[in-house]
Chain A
């Protein structure tokens, strides 16, 4: 039987505020345990939550970026459950009237484009951290993270493969970083995915029973966990079994998912409106002000790169995968609009490869767009060959000659022989020394021509422009 995979993602993004969502404690990562947990975060008696404007603004900006509805009033609810790292005994979250409702995100998988609908995005507070290491049989609680603002972004079950799920997660990741509402640091838990996975016979309308896989903190794990889970479910169904609705954990070491809790022991969260918080009114002029503050969005930039610079959809997609990369490209392409494709090739090729190798982000690239522009200009005006440009790039990366492209070309002796007379003399010498090949070529052997080009290039120590050598050689042999 052919199966269709159905996936929906829930992504928790940590909002980049200075202070917590309901208290004035700091949110900085990596502080000493409990030094950023104030009375409100500890849920001491008598304290009250006061909502952080910065968190609300970021949620609205996200909603605007995905063309969603911004609910006003938006209300907060208590989600009740007991766990030591949740001192109040409930998490303040949103249930009815979440701040963001609907909206969509366009994703690219290979050559295909697809629109993924979003259900909602709501504000909530994060819990603290439990440490189960050796504390004489006890658990250690760090409440620094308690009260950190999160935006939980829920997609519709529109994803049909792990590749689509990863593409969606990456697009979302790029978007929240692009508009500056989340730093996207997955190691620090700023962007965490849960995947709802089910399968159904191809063509069936009704969804299969789903399992939720928790806490996937890398794109690779997301892909592996879904692939494993899909295979597990199909195997059960093909053997005549049925899927049990449950929450599963991904074990990264084993590359498999395992039961965390079944539906029977699922918590009944008993949501109700939080009486400590009043409804949030979001005035239209506040929304407009935030809309005006948004940068040009990735999708818009991608389309502009295609029309303005004539890039392919693929290139435009790669270059807008982060704002830093898009800004880098744009800084170069603005200087050389007629060579935008070459700029794109350099960024996606040599520069990305080197950054990868050194484990750097493009924001930390030691070679700036201005140098890349100068380098491309020197290829274009025939001063250096494309091959020599790679050597110059290495020089730039090493910081040679204050990153002066011309000085590096000079110092490394990479200038092409552009002078026709010098080249002609060398060609004549090569032809005189290779009479047999000349005869072969005239006899129709194209291979002999390539060999002659090679000889000339060797005689120039690679400093000639191959196109020029080609042209001159053809002219001579043709005559």
Chain B
């Protein structure tokens, strides 16, 4: 698969990362390298291998449905840049 400079810009856009033209080019080269690596791996026949969803061969431990976390708003908000009325304030975003 060949990656274009526009693909890089689109991914950057989705990730809300602002990149310059120079950075985009450098990233394109790096990502293309990674894609070559993936292509090499994809050459291996895995049709008889069951896909795994996790690197560890373990199963998920479950938690009892109990409230164990108490209110620590004051502590959490002590590191927030801006708060008001118990809310975290952020630059306005409306979808």
Contact = CB atoms under 8 A, between A and B. Distances in A.
Interface of A: 17-19, 23-26, 32-40, 42, 50-56, 73, 75, 80, 82-84, 96-97, 130-132, 135, 137-143, 260-261, 267-268, 270, 273, 275, 277-281
Contact of A279 (B59, B66, B77): B59
Contacts of A83: 93, 95
B40 interface: no
Given A34-B73, A275-B54, A279-B54, A141 B62 contact: no
Contacts of B88: 34, 140-141, 143
B66 A73 contact: no
A464 B82 CA distance: 77
13 contacts: A34-B76, A34-B87, A34-B88, A37-B76, A42-B76, A51-B62, A52-B65, A75-B53, A138-B89, A141-B90, A260-B95, A261-B95, A280-B59
Contacts of B86: 32-35, 142
Interface string B59-94: 111111111110111001100001011111111111
A78 to B, nearest CB: 12
A38 B69 contact: yes
A75 B16 CA distance: 28
A279 B60 contact: yes
A24 B66 CA distance: 6
| Residue from the set B54, B63, B91 with the largest chain A CB neighbour count within 10 Å | B63
Most buried by A among B54, B65, B88: B65
A24 B69 contact: yes
Given A96-B53, A279-B59, 5 more contacts: A39-B72, A73-B59, A132-B92, A140-B88, A275-B54
A75 B59 CA distance: 10
Given A19-B67, A280-B60, A138 B76 contact: no
B87 A142 contact: yes
Contacts of B66: 18-19, 24
A308 B31 CA distance: 69
Interface string B33-77: 000000000000000000001111011111111111101110011
Interface of B: 14-16, 53-56, 58-69, 71-73, 76-77, 82, 84-95
A19 B92 contact: no
A141 B16 CA distance: 19
A368 B67 CA distance: 36
A260 B71 CA distance: 36
Contacts of A42: 76
A84 B61 contact: no
A346 B85 CA distance: 50
B24 to A, nearest CB: 18
B60 A131 contact: no
A19 B63 CA distance: 10
A109 to B, nearest CB: 35
Contacts of A75: 53-54
B28 to A, nearest CB: 18
Given A24-B66, A34-B77, A36-B71, A279 B85 contact: no
A458 B61 CA distance: 77
B14 A267 contact: yes
A278 B92 contact: no
Contact of B89 (A135, A143, A268): A135
Contacts of B55: 275
Contacts of B85: 33, 140
A138 B82 contact: yes
Contacts of B73: 32, 34-35, 37
Ranked 6 nearest A-B pairs via Cβ = A54-B65, A24-B68, A140-B87, A33-B86, A38-B69, A53-B62
A311 to B, nearest CB: 38
Contacts of A140: 84-85, 87-89
A88 to B, nearest CB: 14
Nearest to B14: A268
Contact of B67 (A24, A32, A273): A24
A130 B93 CA distance: 9
Contact of A139 (B59, B71, B90): B90
B73 to A, nearest CB: 5
A281 B60 contact: yes
Contacts of B67: 18-19, 24-26
Nearest to A33: B86
B90 to A, nearest CB: 4
A137 B92 CA distance: 6
Contacts of A80: 14
A269 to B, nearest CB: 9
A18 B76 contact: no
A279 B53 contact: yes
Contact of B53 (A34, A35, A73, A268): A73
A142 B73 CA distance: 11
Given A19-B66, A34-B76, A267-B14, A138 B60 contact: no
B87 A131 contact: yes
Contacts of A135: 84, 87, 89
